[in-house]
Structure 1
Amino acid sequence: MAFQPIVDVNIGRIWGYEALVRGSGGESAYHVLNQVTPETRYRFDQDCRVKAIELAAGLFPDDETRLSINFMPNAVYEPSACIRTTLLTAARTGFRLDRIMFEFTETEQVQDTGHLQAIINEYRRRGFVTAIDDFGAGFSGLNLLADFTPDLVKIDMDLVRGIDASQSRRAIVNGIVSICRELDITLLAEGIETEAEMETLSEIGIDLMQGYYFSRPAVACLPAVHGLERLSA
């Protein structure tokens, strides 16, 4: 697993880290995920969770830093059963459940929306944070907010790219901010690559951000983060 920081630009601190799968030779997530088959999806999903929590428990600097884990809704056959390994790993490593955020991506076609709702309900009951990843890039769009109302939404990088120079992108993201405020959903912008993008998103009202502007992912360690000193000044 590699870790990429999520920064709260309002206070200039690291809010958490997203765990990102990498191959043993540093291969990309795309390369690794292409090797996953329907037969191995469940085991892969479980192994990623365990590895991410184990590494985070040893690497994270304090008891407040959060861990974000991607999961595959179609790999979870029964929510309460599939979460057992995660619960056992968190208990064994002393990693609090309320520090763990599970992201499901909008770009994965959910085969059964009722099943996804059951997963989210079970995760919330256990104290986990739930999030939609890649919002604005996938299959269901606003229907996901209406149906599931997660704790957090991650705005897709395609909406973020060049937002400082794009009136249409600013208008769309402003609309997402307004909707999420009404629904009491926290927003996170991903894929930040420039200071201008960061400043524009901050002006719009988004505090949580992630992207190469702050840091690239680092395998099995926590990377240095650019710009924290200036943000907290």
Structure 2
Amino acid sequence: MAARCLGCANGTELRFAFKMAFQPIVEVAQDRIWGYEALVRGPNGESAHSVLSQLTDDQLYRFDQAARVMAIETAGKLFHDPAARLSINFMPNAVYEPRACIQKSLEAAKRANFPPHNLMFEFTENERMKDPAHVENIVASYKKLGFLTALDDFGAGYAGLNLLARLQPDLIKIDMELLRDIHLSSSKQVIVSGIASIARQLGITILAEGVESEAELTVLRAAGITLFQGYYFARPAFMSLPAIANLGGRLASG
């Protein structure tokens, strides 16, 4: 077994509680739920900001571990589809050594009887990475362990083409600002179509998040995108799986 992550063990105790909400990721062409993203919430469903605003630098490691465990254990109770993926956000700067820091997640998956190969870890970097080589090592290590990796907010801030070329994640989530009202913007359509073409050639799957209308969905499907997430299908549900709308009526939660 890999060594325990000392940073996770030695971090300052968390003095706040939190729980999870789940939002579905749907594969429209197959009329199915592909997976769910786990989203941090306050103990009574308060916003993620209400939790993250209490976080201090010396709590990052412990919080990252606790959030992963909470997401996996809750998903183990809620998910009924053995093929449904669970997408978990993580902080690259809260990982000392990938194989050491993943041990608690693997133990949680075993306790919850959740298939580890159904885990996807997504990360975002809205500020320039202090150590891109460290993040590259995390992504490569997670791939070797059989997890999916995703780069969130692609097209915003520093999450651009150089980062994509270096990290080669399994999946990218296009920044919502590029998708908002895309049916009304020819420039956005050209940009998203170009991103989709690049991703296909690199063997990377695209997920369009923040979809709020049928008009947006139609344009994005025409660009060849297959995975979607947003209020058009379902809002996040607190400690439960939401019913899905606008997908043919044949989907069941889980």
- Contact preservation (8 Å) 2:61, 2:94: yes
Aligned residues: 232
Measured at CA, do residues 94 and 108 of structure 1 come closer, stay the same or move farther in structure 2, by a change above 3 Å?
A: farther
1:3 aligned partner = 22
Match of 1:101 among 116, 120, 126: 120
SS in 2 for 1:67: strand
Of the candidates 15, 20, 23, which is equivalent to residue 39 of structure 2? 20
Q: Give the Cα separation in 2 of the matches to 1:52 and 1:140.
A: 25
Q: Give distance in 2, aligned partners of 1:170 and 1:135.
A: 15
2:204 counterpart residue number = 185
Distance in 2 (CA, whole Å) between partners of 1:48 and 1:201 is 32
Q: Cα distance 1:42–1:78, how it changes in 2: closer, same or farther (>3 A)?
A: same
Q: Which has the higher contact order (CA 8 A, sep 6+)?
A: 1
2:124–2:159 contact (8 Å) kept in structure 1: no
Stretches of structure 1 that go unaligned for 5 or more consecutive residues are none
Equivalent pairs: percent with the same residue?
58
- More divergent stretch after superposition (175-184 vs 134-143): 134-143
**SS of residue paired to 1:181:** helix
Amino acid paired to 1:22: R
Q: 1:38 aligns with which of 57, 60, 77?
A: 57
How far off its partner does 1:231 sit?
8.5
Q: Which runs of 5+ in 2 are unaligned?
A: 1-19
Q: Do residues 90 (structure 1) and 95 (structure 2) align?
A: no
Q: Spell out structure 1 runs of 4+ moving beyond 3 A.
A: none
The residue number in structure 2 matching 1:195 is 214
Match of 2:74 among 25, 39, 55: 55
Given that 1:105 and 1:132 are in contact with CA atoms closer than 8 Å, whether structure 2 keeps it comes out as: yes
Aligned equivalents of 1:101, 1:160: Cα separation in 2: 23
Report the CA distance between 1:80 and its aligned residue.
1.2
Show CA shifts across 1:39-62 (max 9, x none): 001111101100100111111121
1:138 CA drift (Å): 2.1
SS of equivalent to 1:228: coil
TM-score of the superposed pair, with normalisation by structure 1: 0.96
Separation of aligned partners in 2, 1:231 and 1:207: 18
- Of the structure 1 ranges 90-99 and 3-12, higher mean CA displacement relative to structure 2 is found in 90-99
What is the identity, as a one-letter code, of the residue corresponding to 2:142? Y
SS class of match (1:2): strand
1:74–1:110 Cα contact (<8 Å) kept: no
